[in-house]
Structure 1
Amino acid sequence: HLYSRTRDLFEEFSTAFTDADEVLIAPIYAAREADDGSVSSALLAERANGNGTRARAATFAEIERIFQTEPSAGDVVMTMGAGDIYKVADALVSHK
């Protein structure tokens, strides 16, 4: 999401996936906003880890690589977000 939305919902985002086995947090979609340095994927992953979620910040390329090597049969992989996150899902589907 946007920097402002991520900042405004930081605590909610940091606890939203406590039931997930692992969460990969992609770069924040800037859209019309400039990065003022107050929030980042790494900060969100750090807070989520502090709240008991196994989370890590990752670039799209890292997420694609992880999706190609780490999921096992029976795992559920979900992507969500704003902007071009759909490219990660497209890459996952193309690498069945």
Structure 2
Amino acid sequence: MVLKKGIYKGNEKPREVEALQCNICKRKVAILGCVLGQNKTTCEQREKCAIIKSSFGNLYLFDELSCTSELNCGKMRAADSESYLTFEYTCCETDFCN
């Protein structure tokens, strides 16, 4: 965890909050590992580390590693209403857990 300045109001004193650190990879393929965009990042407030599984129908394509809104965690989302392309979000809450 890294410390970041927290949000505060009025005459409250600024406080530091712990910020989650996560791996980044735009394309991670099972056998090869990360093949595009490998890095590390610090998430914003209300974000968690995520592994996002991309599939076309029942065909697994690749994973993406990143930070995501905690609202996405545990969800499967479609690219659009007419596509078979889906993204399944699995989240975790410790540094570099993805």
Normalized against structure 1, the TM-score is what?
A: 0.23
Larger radius of gyration: 2
Relative contact order, higher structure (CA 8 A, sep 6+): 1
